Amino acid sequence: MSFRIIGIFFFFCLLFSCKQKQEFTAQEIRQQKKNDDPVLKRILEAKKLVAATEYNSTSYFLFRGEPMGYQYEILKSFADFLDVKLEINIFNGIDSSINCLNSRECDINALGLAVTKDYLNQVEFCIPLTHTRQMLVQCKPDGWRKMATAHQVNAYLIRNPLYLSGKTIHIQKNSVFKNRLQHLSDEIGGEINIIEHSGATVEELIGMVARREIEYTVSEEYIAMVNQKYYPDIDVSTPISFPQSIAWAVRKEAYGLLDTINYWLNGYKLKRESVLVFNKYFKNTGRRISARGGVLLIAEGKISPFDEIIRQYSQKIKWDWRLLASLIYQESRFYSDTIASSGAFGLMQMMPNTATKYDIDSLSTPESQISAGVDYIALLDNQFAEKGVDTVERVKFVLAAYNAGIAHVFDAQRLAAKYKKNPLVWEDNVDFYLLNKSRPQFYNDTVVKYGYCRGDEAYNFVIDVMDRFEHYKNMIKE
């Protein structure tokens, strides 16, 4: 251990002894807990937080190409606090998500688990994000809109759990709902027939009720209320449980991570941001309906209206079609008539001079735009291949060149070689010199042939496209 690390360690010990009654900074809390917990230490050193959550219209979804969701936004804020990258793993089953946690494949379970005794035996819960009840989901009677009073509608609905005796209720397999229904069956002295679905999410079961494929299911209240806006024919007003806490979970030995999350959450829940995020997904009707549209598009296996064209032309450059889709979203948000102030136009935002070489203009069809963009990508790819950049690394080099121009990337490679970095590796090598090519120290260097470049745009372009690609892979099967 170097003298510098030893000095930092003693500095933090002294700092914490002097600040027992003061608020710690983000950096201080991270450092102290890192020393306490190997789980948090690994997260900070790898600069990556892996979270398990579920894909639905509230937790995590894509809307117009961008990742969104209540759980996602809070996780992203926590990852920013830790100064690490967030990686999402999707699970539709609670058991598999807990197994992911305890097998050390995930760091946080953010499926919105209800805090129960059974789960407490398997994981450690953080302080609650919110509170909810379990609600019965059932269909309103035919013609309910024409009924004069709510009393008439209620006459067709179960309002007292006593009347669940003899009924069949469909639920997600291994969910907390099963225990509650079993206890309810004992309490009412009547048998409730419980059917578990291993492959269905709570939202999918709600949809089955709305389509009258099944009579009843159970959902957390906050999810039920959101889905009622999408399915006005369902009723979600009958509770079958007392209020329960909904919280993130970590594995048993991760006490430093647990304490850090709780420290951060205590502050986060006092901020206006917390209220805005909650309202965005659970109170803002317009946002919810728009989000549902994005979820339904993804549920159909689609990213954009141009997916088939993107699939076809991505084969020409041997790219995953979802990567090409991510680039196109970054350039144009899938609007084929977009024209930038720079003159770049269309889905691929090609500059006029480049576009002329591929015989397209702003009036060309979406297919022609994508075809030309792919041809240009192939040209860039070949040039980096000739320089010895391998297939995996080439993707990032090509993305940077697509944004900033290949000449500036060549300059960054020359700078990397001069300063004893690897000119064939992007991250922590060539990307650093492109990012800093706006500084005189670098753009005036004798190895630089093309001068000043605002490299931060291209640097962030690569990160954004690759990050979105990971989200697309989470949600869309190849």
Assess whether 387 and 445 both reside in one domain. Answer: yes
Mean pLDDT of the chain: 86
Assess whether 223 and 344 both reside in one domain. Answer: no
Count of structural domains, the chain = 3
Task: Let me know if residue 8 belongs to a domain.
Answer: no
Query: pLDDT tens digits for the chain (478 residues)?
Result: 444 434 433 434 443 444 443 345 555 555 555 556 788 999 999 999 999 998 877 888 776 567 888 999 999 999 999 999 999 988 877 888 889 998 999 999 998 888 988 888 899 999 999 999 999 999 999 888 888 788 888 899 999 999 999 999 999 888 889 999 999 999 999 999 999 998 788 888 998 999 999 999 999 998 898 888 778 899 999 999 999 999 999 999 899 999 999 999 999 999 999 988 888 888 764 444 344 444 445 555 688 899 999 999 999 999 999 999 999 999 998 988 888 877 889 999 998 888 999 999 989 999 999 999 999 999 999 999 999 999 999 999 999 999 999 999 999 999 999 999 999 999 999 999 999 998 889 988 999 998 888 888 899 999 999 999 998 988 887 7
CATH number at residue 108: 3.40.190.10
Helices 391-404 and 366-386 pack at an angle, to 10 degrees, of 120
Nearest to 321 by CA among 100, 478, 150: 478
CA distances from 1 to 6, 9, 14, 30, 40 (A): 7, 11, 19, 20, 20
From 195, 217, 242, the end of a domain falls on 242
Alpha helices for 358-454 (secondary structure H) = 366-386, 391-404, 406-418, 431-435, 440-443
Identify whether the C-beta of residue 441 lies closer than 8 Å to the C-beta of residue 415: no
* HEC letters along 289-322: HHHHHHHHHHHCCCCCCCHHHHHHHHHHHCCCHH
First to last CA, the chain: 46
Q: What's the rounded Cα separation, in Å, for the pair 476 and 457?
A: 28
Domain with 98 in it: 15-129+246-297
Assess whether 204 and 275 both reside in one domain. Answer: no
Assess whether 319 and 399 both reside in one domain. Answer: yes
Residue 285 has what pLDDT?
47
pLDDT, tens digit, 9 for 90 and up, residues 70-90: 999 999 999 999 999 999 988
Look up the pTM and report it. 0.66
pLDDT, tens digit, 9 for 90 and up, residues 31-52: 555 556 788 999 999 999 999 9
CATH number at residue 415: 1.10.530.10
Assess whether 266 and 380 both reside in one domain. Answer: no
